[in-house]
Structure 1
Amino acid sequence: MAATKPSSIDEYIASFPEDVQQILQEIRAVIRDAAPDATETISYDMPTFNLNGTYLIYFAGWKKHVALYPVSGSIAEALSTELSGYKGTKGSVHFPLNKPMPLDLIRKITKLRIAENEAAARK
């Protein structure tokens, strides 16, 4: 992780080794493509996409994986087969850096998060 707190997603990504930077940029591009109306920011020292005035999705690079947050119970259930090969914590999924990044799965998670976000915004 960066020694100084990043003020932008570009700064955050630049703090990683080149091979990891490429992976983080791919994830960023997939999220941007799936959620074109979301705005980029840094929150909790992680790249964050906000939509409808609240967070949509975060991602973070770690030593051996990239984590994606949040993965709600309903998303975990809807994508249980696809997520079964990945570790994570309650509310996140970890994608190992030594395996191909599942960009289609990241797109699906983002789209499900948009649906959750929009449902919450309507309440």
Structure 2
Amino acid sequence: MPRFSDHDDYIAAAPEQFRPLLEQVRKQLARALPDAEERIMYDMPGFAIGGSIVAGYAAFSKQCGLYVSKGAIALHEKDITSAGLKASKTGVTFTTRQPIADELVKKLAISSRKELQL
């Protein structure tokens, strides 16, 4: 299993077609969580406040994911569905054909932070 030193390292190792998506999600998370610190935890990039990861993202062979709190997913379930995206309890998956909108990334990150009370 690869070990990544930072977000740049992670994105560089991701499948080429997903790199622009990951860069965009990273940029939106940084804007939504300006006081968060970029971290790698469990070999995935995330944004932490204190010791808690507020939001993270990842690339897989066929899709990418944005990972936030359960409450953030539940709160924005209609937005996720109307965007044509799929969600689990803590994540939203997206692809190059069906990217995640910047505004949805922002909403999810801010809601995750509020739920975690950070």
Q: Secondary structure at the match of 1:41?
A: strand
Q: Which residue is equivalent to 1:11?
A: 9
Q: Comparing 11-20 with 56-65, which one deviates more in the overlay?
A: 11-20
Q: Any unmatched runs of 5+ in structure 2?
A: none
CA positional deviation for 1:82: 0.9
Separation in 2, partners of 1:76, 1:88: 7
Structure 1 vs Structure 2 CA RMSD? 1.7
- The share of aligned pairs that are identical, in percent, is 29
Q: What amino acid does structure 1 have at the position aligned with 2:36?
A: A
Q: Secondary structure at the match of 2:86?
A: coil
CA positional deviation for 1:115: 1.1
Q: Any unmatched runs of 5+ in structure 1?
A: none
Question: For residues 1-123 of structure 1, what are the structure 2 equivalents within 5 Å?
Answer: 4-72=2-70, 74-84=71-81, 85-117=84-116, 119=117, 121=118
TM-score (normalised: structure 1): 0.83
| Cα gap change, 1:59 to 1:86, in 2 (>3 Å) | same
TM-score (normalised: structure 2): 0.86
Separation in 1, partners of 2:115, 2:89: 17
How many residues were matched structurally? 116
Structure 1 runs (4+) deviating above 4 angstroms are: none
| C-alpha contact 1:66 1:95 (8 A) present in aligned 2 | yes
| C-alpha contact 2:10 2:44 (8 A) present in aligned 1 | yes
Larger-Rg structure: 1
Q: What amino acid does structure 1 have at the position aligned with 2:23?
A: Q
Separation in 1, partners of 2:102, 2:113: 16
Q: What amino acid does structure 1 have at the position aligned with 2:113?
A: I
| Cα gap change, 1:96 to 1:71, in 2 (>3 Å) | farther
| Cα gap change, 1:104 to 1:37, in 2 (>3 Å) | same
